[in-house]
Amino acid sequence: MVLMKEKETVKGKQLLLTFIRDHIWSYVAGILILLFSSFCAMLIPKILGIITDGLDKRNMAREQIYQYVLLMLGAIILVFILKYIWRYLLIGNCRTVECYLRDNLFKHLQTLSVDFYSHHKTGDLVAYAINDIQAVRFMFGGGFVQALDGITISVVSIIFMANTINPILTVMALAPVPVAAVIMVRIGKLIRERFKRVQEAFADISDKVQENLSGIRVIKAFAQEREEVLNFTKFSQSRVDTQMKLTQASAIMGPSAQICFGFSFLFFIVYGSRLVMDGTISLGDYIAFNTYMITVMGPVMNISKIIETWQRGIASYRRLNEIFCVPPALEGTVSICDVCEIKGKIEIRNLSFTYPKANRRALKDINIQLEQGKTLGILGKTGSGKTTLINLLLRLFDVKDGHIFVDGIDINKIPVDVLRECIGYVPQDNFLFSTTIKNNIEFFKPVHSDDEIEEVSKISAIYDNIMELQEGFDTVVGERGTTLSGGQKQRVSIARALIKDPSILILDDSLSAVDSKTEETILGNIRDVLESRTGIIISHRISTVMHADEIIYLENGRIVERGTHAQLMELEANYFKLYKTQTNQAETLEEVVK
Ligand SMILES: Nc1ncnc2c1ncn2[C@@H]1O[C@H](COP(=O)(O)OP(=O)(O)OP(=O)(O)O)[C@@H](O)[C@H]1O
């Protein structure tokens, strides 16, 4: 992915800063309670030291000892309660941050351009939404809390050690700490880099699984299962290799911290015992110091885990940030807000278009005038630019070279939602959701009556098929509509476009999977629907577009022929040849059938 400019990185940071600002009181309260709880915890070794000295010198009354023991018990209970509260506040926030980031990522993904999805794999994006967000959550939760707890306990212990026992002994005991810090920072960086690679390897696996499952029918049809398994093993192995490298780095961290701390203990035992013997510190102080050292040891032992969590979190945060910094589609365009309805007049003037990152134009100098209520038929070889024209009409891509006017308004100035709301579009690749046919037709908006749903189903000639199903409109279709035939899927998609009652109806090769009799029925019904609307019908079949008010023939992104069916037949060029080929084919087929 492209390196981000400094300005762009602000977006991801802003998101986290906004979260922290919104939850600042729980953070402040959590941190203050944590500090107080650490202070209370540090009283315990001191009380232990006082009791030890009392017993050692035999100058402490039994009642006094009981009082100290009660004090210690009180401190333990208080620490327990305080710890519960601060963990609830701070760990609770990390669960919320996970949900907050995931919601924002999902929201952001909805705003990204179609082109973004042409260049990013689904499995990869799933990895961002699951793995990376989880790693950030661990950083915000366990990582943050353990680091804060560890730092507080260590700092408070050191203050107690230096102030109440002996500063020189404290310095001696902590001498190896800077060495440990340098080692931790170095290994930490290595962990971050390696974790990034682990996440990338996971994204590859996720992508492979997603692609394989989506294409399982093709894989089976071509008997490619074995190759797929072998291919998958390579991805799996790559993940193991990257993970092993990460484990190697993190495995050094824990023992390094322990060795450094071992030296600290050694210094303390040698130097501390000497101080007890020459009477500089009491035995109680020695015991208390020892307890403080053990208290500090907890976070030190944990430091490898904490650093690893942080470095993983930072690596994932950076990956997420790259996605958050991708600007939303059509970000720079200005919309006029008072347009709230579209009647359907379309004018295309000198329009050319090149896809981002492509090196040749998909459309060249297109000019079309389509009055409201009229129908345009588009024909052309595959790859000639038919769908591209529709992509621009739907503003899936920005119009930069030339103009498209809808109702006389530049399309770039019409609010995208208003524009798309007024267009009923049946795409070439019909996508049905794994839910009921009814939900698929109304697109999860339960605002239509059963009569309306039935009516559009009848227009698109799918009603009888639906009625034959056991659950009728409540039949749940398989993922991507797999339990329906290609032609049935196309017709459900037509019903979905019609129920919007659109001003402009676009059918992009939407009848290619239906037989010619059904096509005739649908076209007849749609002709009635199109009487009051603007229609654009794309097809490879002359029979689908021949009744249109105007037909254009595209070749390499350019309009090479235009006119009515009769005019194009008179031209005796591409359209005519196609007509001849298709009628000959139909006649031959009829003879064969006879
Ligand atoms: N997202 C994209 N990025 C780059 N090039 C693209 C993209 N989508 C389409 N193209 C290219 O633009 C050209 C026009 O494609 P388009 O899909 O408009 O053709 P079409 O006439 O609809 O073809 P078909 O009849 O096969 O559907 C083709 O050369 C295609 O490879």
Q: Are 388 and 353 in contact (CB under 8 A)?
A: yes
Same domain, 432 and 413: no
For the chain, give the mean pLDDT. 83
Q: How confident is the model at residue 188 (pLDDT cuts 50, 70, 90)?
A: confident
Same domain, 295 and 380: no
For the segment 142-161, what is each residue's pLDDT rounded down to a tens digit? Answer: 788 888 878 887 887 788 77
Beta strands (DSSP E) in 221-277 are none
Distance, CA of 193 to CA of 310 (rounded, Å)? 12
User: How many whole angstroms separate alpha carbon 46 and alpha carbon 29?
Assistant: 27
Q: Tell me: pLDDT of 405 over 90.
A: yes
For residues 130 and 276, what is the distance between their CA atoms, to the nearest angstrom? 56
Residue 7 resides in a domain: no
Query: Ligand 1 test: best mutation among 112, 117, 354, 388, most atoms within 8 Å of CB?
Result: 388
pLDDT at 122 over 50: yes
Between 260 and 301, whose confidence is greater?
A: 260
Domain closes at, from 473, 501, 529 = 501
Domain-terminating residue out of 451, 484, 501: 501
Q: Are residues 259 and 405 in the same domain?
A: no
pLDDT the model gives residue 7: 45
Same domain, 418 and 495: no
Ligand 1 centroid to residue 52 C-alpha, Å: 84
Instruction: Flag whether 302 is in a domain.
Output: yes
Residues 382 and 480 in one domain: no
Q: What's the pLDDT band for 591 if we cut at 50, 70, 90?
A: low
- Encoded tokens for 146: 């353990």
Mean pLDDT of 339-362: 88
Q: What is the CATH number of the domain that holds 257?
A: 1.20.1560.10
Q: How many residues does the chain have?
A: 594
Assigned token pair, 557: 């992104």
Do residues 479 and 539 both lie within one domain? no
The order of strands in the sheet holding 375-380 is: 423-426, 504-508, 534-538, 375-380, 550-555, 558-563
Q: Does 362 sit in the ligand 1 pocket, CB within 6 Å?
A: yes
Residue 348 within any structural domain of the chain: yes
In the predicted structure, residue 87 carries a pLDDT above the cut 90:
no
pLDDT digits (tens, 9 = 90+) for 482-503: 677 888 888 999 999 999 889 9
CA–CA separation, 464 and 458 (whole Å): 8
Which residue lies with its CA nearest to atom 17 of ligand 1? 387
Give phi and psi for 425, each to the nearest 5: -120, 130
Q: What is the CATH number of the domain that holds 520?
A: 3.40.50.300
Residue 334's pLDDT is 54
Residue 5 pLDDT grade (very low, low, confident, very high; cuts 50, 70, 90): very low
Place of tokens 């991708």: 326
Residue 540 lies in domain: 338-422+504-594
HSE on the CB side for 486, CA within 13 Å? 9
**C-alpha span between 416 and 408 (Å, rounded):** 16
Output the pLDDT for position 12.
66
User: Is residue 122 a part of any domain in this protein?
Assistant: yes
Query: Contact at 8 Å (CB) between 198 and 239?
Result: yes
242 touches 197 (CB < 8 A): yes
Name the nearest CA neighbour of 555 among 537, 543, 573: 573
Same domain, yes or no: 234 and 298: yes
Cα 499 to ligand 1 centre (Å): 28
How far, in Å, CA of 390 to CA of 507, rounded? 10
Nearest to 212 by CA among 238, 237, 235: 235
Domain count, the chain: 3
Question: Does 571 lie in the same domain as 484?
Answer: no
The answer as to whether 11 is a domain residue is no
Flag whether 14 is in a domain.
Answer: no
- Look at residue 447 and tell me if it is in a domain: yes
Q: Is residue 385 lining ligand 1, measured as CB closer than 6 Å?
A: yes
Q: Do 382 and 543 contact (CB within 8 A), yes or no?
A: no
| Exposed / middle / buried, residue 308 (Cβ in 10 Å: 0-12, 13-18, 19+) | buried
Q: Give mean pLDDT, residues 444-449.
A: 75
Residue with tokens 């790259």: 322
Q: Residue 330 Cα, ligand 1 centroid: separation in angstroms?
A: 20
What integer pLDDT is reported at residue 390 of this predicted model? Answer: 93
pLDDT at position 393 over 90: yes
* Same-domain status, 121 and 247: yes
Q: What six digits make up the tokens of 102?
A: 């995931």
> Residue 332: is its pLDDT beyond 60?
no
- Quick check: CB of 364 below 6 Å from ligand 1? no
* Residue 2 pLDDT class (50, 70, 90 cuts): very low
Residue 1's pLDDT is 39
Residue 444 has pLDDT above 70, yes or no: no
Question: Is residue 379 predicted with pLDDT exceeding 80?
Answer: yes
Same domain, 510 and 586: yes
Sequence-distant (6+) residues with CB within 8 A of 39 are: 156
pLDDT of residue 335: 56
- Cα–Cα distance, 213 to 206 (Å, whole number): 11
CA 387 to ligand 1 centroid distance, Å: 7
258 plus 215 within the same structural domain = yes
Residue 413 lies in a domain: yes
Q: Which atom of ligand 1 is nearest to the CA of 118?
A: 1
Question: Quick one: pLDDT band at residue 8, thresholds 50, 70, 90?
Answer: very low
pLDDT tens sequence across 225-238: 888 888 888 888 98
DSSP element (H, E) containing 254: helix 225-277
State yes or no: pLDDT of 304 exceeds 90: no
Alpha helices in 131-176 (DSSP H): 133-138, 144-160, 167-174
pLDDT score for 333: 53
346 C-alpha to center of ligand 1: Å? 22
> Domain check: are 167 and 248 in the same one?
yes
**Ligand 1 atom 16: the closest Cα is on which residue?**
385
Beta bridge partners of 409: 406
Q: Tell me how far apart the alpha carbons of residues 513 and 85 are, in angstroms, rounded to a whole number.
A: 63
Per-residue pLDDT reduced to its tens digit, 515-555: 778 888 888 888 888 888 999 999 888 888 888 999 999 99
**Distance (Å) from CA 379 to ligand 1 centroid:** 14
Report whether residue 384 contacts ligand 1, using a CB cutoff of 6 Å: yes
Top-confidence residue, 150 or 404: 404
Specify the range with the lowest mean pLDDT, choosing from 259-263, 274-278, 390-394, 526-530.
259-263
Residue where a domain stops, chosen among 456, 476, 501 = 501
* Distance, CA of 254 to CA of 577 (rounded, Å): 77
Residue ID of nearest Cα to ligand 1 atom 25: 382
pLDDT, position 565 = 92
